[in-house]
């Protein structure tokens, strides 16, 4: 990336952060919410211009892998369904993929592997300010989409998770179809050549390498293709987004 492009990109990110910081009062009104949504849309479009859909996140070497991949957020879901699967070493795990698709499907981990695998060594950047490098192996989400065949009205991919951040509030996240089909967007089941640990999201988690860490949903329960977030959570596209974070968290 050239110095000019880096400067422009950082300026856009700074403006996006400024739009969120100190704007609680504005966001309480309908007009203010529309303004903030519009500002985020501009940020997203400019980021896409500076980092087109074909651009890859930087990949690293084996020597760069961090000694420990820090676990953040939920590290052991206590929901009964997840606890039962964990006791059975996830033998009965099935990922349900449905919504606006022509062929809804339930995938075992073996069925996902049969669609194809990819391994990549990438950096995880947390919104809290820390980074860590890990080696991920998983199934490209694009291969899953090819199998289920999204309908023409599908716009977003929503990830529903086993963990609850608050009581009766399941974690969820979402990305658009462009990011979902990016070659580095994986449904990962292995970290550093070993089965994905529970603390890092077992049995399956999202890796969306061009966005910040809170977009990388862990403990995937089901995937739903939708045309709108209006009926999911608070309608902002993710648990943290419902609490004020930006939906498009490009880096």
Top-confidence residue, 212 or 4: 212
CB 96 within 8 A of CB 34: no
Residue 244 Ramachandran class (φ > 0 left, ψ -120 to 50 alpha, else beta):
left
At 167 the pLDDT is 78
The β-bridge relationship of strands 95-99 and 220-226 is: parallel
pLDDT band at 46 (very low <50, low <70, confident <90, very high): low
Kind plus residue range of the DSSP H or E element containing 188: strand 185-191
CA proximity to 238, closest of 168, 169, 148, 142:
169
Q: Is the pLDDT of residue 85 over 60?
A: yes
Distance CA 214, CA 211 (A): 8
Average pLDDT over residues 115-140: 98
Whole-Å CA distances, 14 to 11, 72, 90, 200, 216: 5, 24, 42, 29, 22
CB atoms within 10 A of CB 73: 18
Average pLDDT over residues 19-37: 40
Share of the chain above pLDDT 90, in %: 76
Distance CA 236, CA 230 (A): 8
Distance CA 121, CA 57 (A): 10
Please state at what angle helix 3-20 crosses helix 30-50, rounded to 10 degrees. Answer: 160
pLDDT in tens, 50-69: 455 779 999 999 999 999 99
Average pLDDT over residues 178-188: 98
Distance CA 226, CA 19 (A): 27
Q: Phi, psi (5° rounding) for residue 218? A: -105, 170
Strand partners, 159: 173, 223
């Amino acid at each position: 990336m050239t110095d000019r492009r880096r400067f422009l990109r950082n300026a856009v990110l700074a403006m996006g952060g400024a739009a969120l910081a100190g704007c609680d009062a504005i966001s309480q009104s309908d007009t203010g919410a529309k303004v903030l949504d519009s500002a985020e849309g501009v940020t997203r479009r400019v980021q896409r211009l500076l980092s087109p859909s074909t651009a890859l996140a930087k990949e690293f070497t084996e020597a760069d892998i961090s000694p420990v991949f820090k676990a953040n957020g939920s590290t052991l879901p206590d929901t009964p369904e997840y606890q039962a699967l964990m006791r059975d070493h996830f033998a009965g795990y099935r990922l349900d993929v449905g919504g606006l698709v022509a062929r809804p499907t339930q995938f075992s981990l073996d069925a996902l592997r049969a669609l194809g695998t990819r391994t990549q060594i990438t950096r995880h950047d947390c919104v809290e300010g820390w980074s860590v490098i890990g080696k991920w192996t998983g199934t490209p989400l694009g291969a899953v989409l090819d199998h289920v065949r999204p309908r023409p009205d599908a716009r977003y991919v929503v990830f529903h998770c086993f963990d609850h951040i608050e009581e009766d509030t399941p974690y969820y996240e979402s990305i658009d179809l462009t990011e979902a089909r990016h070659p580095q967007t994986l449904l990962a089941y292995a970290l550093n050549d070993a089965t994905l640990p529970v603390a890092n999201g077992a049995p399956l988690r999202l890796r969306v390498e061009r966005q910040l860490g809170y977009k990388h949903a862990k403990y995937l329960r089901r995937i739903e293709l939708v045309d709108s977030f209006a009926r999911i959570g608070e309608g902002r596209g993710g648990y943290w987004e419902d609490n004020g974070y930006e939906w498009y968290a490009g880096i």
